[in-house]
């Protein structure tokens, strides 16, 4: 019988797994009692072994501790929200391969797309949901993940994946999807629910560059690739990498690379005579 004893943070299904196979380990990260009850009701009798976390911080720690086969994640958790948690999990080598299914009532299209495009989400199920559909989608993703088995990550005692290192990797991934945006440090920090000074200090310590130096370097790296491999105009490339106009981009590019974008393009495409 299903009860809300799950609020003790752990819950084990008593129904045996099918065909005697090991029970898939499922982590649910959710903080709404009604939605959590609906999820548990839908999963009753599946044979899944379930653990529950009621906030992102606990969800992150549980994911590392139990190495689940799949995570059901709400977006609209109390800060840090589900997107921030997913980014952290996706940046940690120990958890990056875990399929994440977002189960959420969030109706914002951009947020839902970000969950799938940027945060490692393999699926998005809107609430209210069909319990049967939820279970079938979970089984599909569990089968798919078995084709790409995730072996245990051997800890590197000399360079353990500390939380602040994972944060920096998550921020770098977050920035890579938004190089055309006009960034403010407090906005980046807010996306991960950390203080901007904490973020700035750890980013500098980990990369040797400030956040904005890193953004500049990445923008120039992408710009050089676009100049070499495409016929986009200088103005279009400037827009792609976050500059308001071609003049500002050309000035920044010359300062960083040592030559104008047009010169770089011509030199990069000039055939090399051996």
Q: What is the 3-state secondary structure (H, E, C) of 135-194?
A: HHHHHHHHHHHHCCCCCCCCCCCCCCCCHHHHHHHHHHHHHHCCCCCCCCHHHHHHHCCC
Contact 203, 171 (CB under 8 A): yes
Say yes or no to pLDDT of 31 above 50.
Answer: yes
Two structure tokens written together for 88: 């952290």
pLDDT above 90 as % of the chain:
65
The distance of Cα 207 from the centroid of its chain, to the nearest Å, equals 19
Using the predicted structure, report yes or no on whether residue 59 has a pLDDT greater than 50: yes
Res 250 pLDDT > 90: yes
- Indicate whether 39 pLDDT > 70: yes
Return the closest-CA partner of residue 227 out of 203, 200, 257, 191: 257
pLDDT at 163: 73
| Lowest-confidence segment of 53-62, 63-72, 162-171, 182-191 by average pLDDT | 162-171
Question: Does 146 or 37 have the greater pLDDT score?
Answer: 37
Q: Which two tokens stand for residue 189?
A: 């920090």
Residue 186 has pLDDT above 60, yes or no: yes
- In percent, the amount of the chain with pLDDT more than 70 equals 85
pLDDT, position 162: 65
Residue 196 in tokens: 């901007």
Average per-residue pLDDT for the chain: 86
Q: Is the predicted pLDDT of residue 76 greater than 90, yes or no?
A: yes
Is the overall model pTM greater than 0.85, yes or no?
Answer: no
* pLDDT at residue number 120: 87
Q: Residue 272's pLDDT band (boundaries 50, 70, 90)? A: low
* 227-249 pLDDT, tens digit each: 999 989 999 999 999 998 999 99
- Provide the pLDDT for residue 18: 54
Residues 145-177 pLDDT 10s: 876 655 444 444 444 456 778 999 999 999 988
User: For position 180, what pLDDT does the model report?
Assistant: 86
pLDDT, position 23: 86
For 4-22, the pLDDT digits (tens) are 444 434 555 545 555 556 7
Residues 175, 218 contacting (CB under 8 angstroms): yes
pLDDT of residue 150: 54
What is the rounded distance in angstroms from the CA atom of residue 37 to the CA atom of residue 8?
13
Mean pLDDT within 51-70 = 92
Sketch out the chain's domains with CATH numbers.
4-146 (3.40.50.2300), 163-269 (1.10.10.60)
With vertex at residue 157, the alpha carbon angle to CA 152 and CA 162, rounded to the nearest 5 degrees, is: 80
pLDDT band at 65 (very low <50, low <70, confident <90, very high): confident
């Amino acid at each position: 019988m299903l009860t809300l004893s799950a609020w003790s943070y752990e819950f084990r299904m008593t129904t045996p797994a099918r065909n005697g196979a090991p029970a898939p380990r499922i982590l649910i990260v959710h903080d709404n009692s009604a939605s959590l009850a609906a999820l548990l009701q839908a999963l009753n009798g599946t044979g899944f072994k379930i653990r529950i976390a009621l906030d992102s911080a606990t969800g992150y720690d549980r994911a590392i501790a139990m190495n689940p086969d799949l995570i059901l994640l709400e977006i609209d958790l109390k800060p840090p929200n589900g997107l921030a948690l997913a980014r952290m999990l996706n940046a940690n080598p120990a958890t990056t391969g875990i399929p994440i299914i977002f189960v959420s009532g969030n109706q914002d299209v951009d947020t839902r797309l970000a969950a799938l495009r940027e945060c490692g989400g393999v699926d998005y199920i809107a609430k209210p949901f069909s319990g049967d559909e939820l279970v079938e989608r979970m089984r599909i993703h569990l089968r798919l993940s078995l084709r790409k088995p995730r072996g245990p990550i051997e800890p590197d005692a000399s360079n353990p994946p500390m939380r602040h290192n994972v944060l920096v990797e998550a921020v770098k991934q977050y920035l890579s999807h938004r190089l055309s945006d006009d960034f403010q440090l407090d906005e980046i920090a807010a996306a991960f629910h950390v203080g901007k000074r904490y973020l700035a200090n750890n980013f500098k310590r980990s990369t040797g560059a400030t956040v904005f130096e890193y953004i500049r370097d990445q923008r120039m790296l992408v710009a050089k690739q676009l100049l070499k491999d495409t016929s986009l105009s200088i103005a279009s490339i400037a827009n792609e990498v976050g500059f308001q106009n071609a003049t500002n981009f050309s000035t920044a590019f010359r300062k960083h690379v040592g030559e104008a974008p047009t010169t770089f393009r011509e030199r990069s495409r000039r055939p090399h005579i051996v």
